[in-house]
């Protein structure tokens, strides 16, 4: 497999700067997920790595070889598209082997690679079928197999699961991760789905408006978001954001509530400074549901709406004029606008600087 290195990569369309100086190091054999909202530049970066978009400025290296002007076919990459891009008139077998055939690979080698891919992906029973005779998940496996047989240095995936239903998406996600581990492959995977990013990635790259907002492991990005954008984007539902100010004695005041925080968790400015308080829904604990946090603050609020999810409910309530979402484990039925007692976990809140929106975590 291979390393991929991006240095000060910029992409300009006319007067519009789509990618604004991206630096990224992708190590050999790692699964890197580019995630962010629509229009943030993640697919553009993938297409530049693939050679499908030109690079306006900067350097792109694969295995330390400069590939800015190298054609796609010579970069040692294979790409799996959202739309599968299979040949509808060809069988699965022919779809798997066609690229190798036009590249002049010997027939016995084509048969070996095709057979290995079919075996790993469970495609043996479908080799004589055409794409129209396959389910969405089977077609996606054929697209992955077609990429595999090329034995590329780098696999590129452009939102490959977005056309699948929820159950099939979960199954295919597991298959892709298992396959990557079996092959020891270097993978760059684009998605807007946070669950895909969190479950697949060795390293997540969060993009916002053509720039890198944060790079880290899934746990780092979720537990220690670098700024308000990452905090609000990663996690479903989003982190609750409340206007607040620094109080005396390691407290944060929001909506009239003084929330104690660990003395060594933040680099807090002077008391009275306006900040933004971030609280994940699971850190607002309804009384009687989940473990009561030792360090925290209590409040009561009327629940305007409860979204039942089976083993948990999402409770929507008003706190000081801001709608917040709390997560209730092992839920019970609630009356409309019923008052519920909550406790905020002070050991897990986040505090952000209002000027630069960066986290104040140490």
* Nearest residue to 89 via CA among 132, 34, 47: 132
Q: Is the pLDDT of residue 183 over 90?
A: no
Q: For residue 81, is pLDDT > 90? A: no
Residue 261: is its pLDDT beyond 90?
Answer: yes
Whole-number pLDDT of residue 34? 97
Beta carbons within 8 Å of 268's beta carbon, 6+ residues apart: 246, 250, 275, 351, 360
pLDDT at 322: 94
Higher-scoring residue by pLDDT: 342, 160: 342
- What is the per-residue pLDDT for 301? 96
* pLDDT for residue 141: 87
> Which pTM was predicted?
0.91
pLDDT at 1 over 80: no
| pLDDT reported for residue 140 | 87
**So what's the pLDDT on residue 348?**
97
Give residue 114's pLDDT band: very low, low, confident or very high (50, 70, 90).
very high
Q: Which two tokens stand for residue 135?
A: 């389910």
DSSP symbols for 39-87: TSSHHHHHHHHHTSS--SEEEEEETTEE-TTS-GGGTTEEEE-TT----
User: Are the beta carbons of 270 and 247 closer than 8 angstroms?
Assistant: no
Query: Which of 123-137, 168-182, 300-314 comes out lowest in average pLDDT?
Result: 168-182
pLDDT at 195: 87
Average pLDDT over residues 33-37: 95
pLDDT at 190 over 80: yes
Q: Is the pLDDT of residue 266 over 80?
A: yes
* Structure tokens belonging to residue 52: 């499908």
- What's the average model confidence in pLDDT over 161-171? 81
pLDDT at 110: 92
Residue with tokens 């006319």: 14
* Percent above pLDDT 70 for the chain: 100
322-329 sheet: strands from edge to edge = 284-286, 338-345, 296-308, 312-319, 322-329
- Residue 218: per-residue pLDDT: 96
Structural domains of the chain sorted by starting position, each given as residue range(s) with its CATH number in brackets: 4-233 (3.40.50.300), 240-353 (2.40.50.140)
The answer to whether the peptide bond before residue 237 is cis (omega within 30 degrees of 0) is yes
Confidence of residue 170 (pLDDT cuts 50, 70, 90): confident
Average pLDDT, the chain: 94
Residue 105 has pLDDT above 80, yes or no: yes
pLDDT in tens, 271-319: 999 999 999 999 999 999 989 999 999 999 999 999 999 899 999 999 9
Residue 139 has pLDDT above 80, yes or no: yes
279 within 8 A of 261, measured Cβ to Cβ: no
Is residue 320 pLDDT above 80, yes or no?
Answer: yes
Nearest to 265 by CA among 355, 357, 349: 349
pLDDT over threshold 90, residue 16: yes
The whole-angstrom separation of Cα 195 and Cα 173 is 10
Instruction: Check whether 160 has a pLDDT greater than 90.
Output: no
Can you tell me the distance from the alpha carbon of 30 to that of 3, in angstroms, rounded to the nearest whole number? 9
């Amino acid at each position: 497999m291979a390393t991929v290195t991006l240095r000060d990569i910029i992409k300009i369309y006319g007067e519009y700067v789509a990618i604004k100086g991206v630096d990224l190091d992708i190590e050999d054999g790692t699964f890197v997920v580019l995630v962010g909202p629509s229009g943030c530049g993640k697919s553009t970066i993938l297409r530049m790595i693939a050679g499908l978009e030109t690079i306006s400025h900067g350097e792109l290296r694969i295995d330390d070889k400069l590939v800015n002007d190298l054609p796609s076919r010579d970069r040692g990459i294979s790409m799996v598209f959202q739309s599968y891009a299979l040949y509808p008139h060809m069988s699965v077998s022919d779809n798997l082997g066609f690229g190798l055939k036009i590249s002049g690979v010997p027939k016995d080698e084509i048969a070996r690679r095709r057979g290995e891919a079919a075996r790993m992906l469970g495609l043996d029973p479908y080799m004589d079928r055409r794409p129209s005779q396959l389910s969405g998940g089977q077609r996606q496996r054929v697209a992955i197999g077609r990429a595999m047989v090329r034995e590329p240095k780098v696999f590129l995936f452009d939102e490959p699961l977005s056309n699948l239903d929820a159950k099939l998406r979960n199954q295919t996600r597991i298959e892709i991760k298992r396959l990557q581990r079996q092959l020891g492959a270097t993978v760059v995977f684009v998605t807007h789905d946070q669950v895909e990013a969190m479950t697949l990635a060795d390293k997540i790259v969060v993009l916002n408006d053509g720039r890198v907002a944060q790079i880290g492991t899934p746990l780092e990005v979720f537990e220690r978001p670098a700024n308000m954008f990452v905090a609000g984007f990663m996690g479903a539902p989003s982190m609750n954001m409340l206007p607040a100010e620094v109080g005396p004695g390691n407290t944060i005041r929001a909506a009239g509530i003084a929330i104690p925080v660990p003395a060594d968790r933040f680099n807090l400015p002077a008391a009275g400074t306006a900040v933004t308080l971030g609280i994940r829904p699971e850190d607002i604990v309804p009384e009687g549901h989940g473990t009561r946090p030792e360090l925290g603050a209590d409040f009561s609020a009327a629940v305007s709406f409860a979204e039942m999810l089976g083993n948990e409910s999402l409770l929507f309530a008003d706190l000081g004029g801001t709608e917040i979402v709390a997560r209730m484990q092992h839920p019970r039925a609630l009356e409309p606008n019923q008052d519920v007692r909550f406790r905020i976990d002070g050991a897990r809140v986040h505090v952000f600087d209002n000027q630069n929106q960066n986290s104040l975590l140490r």
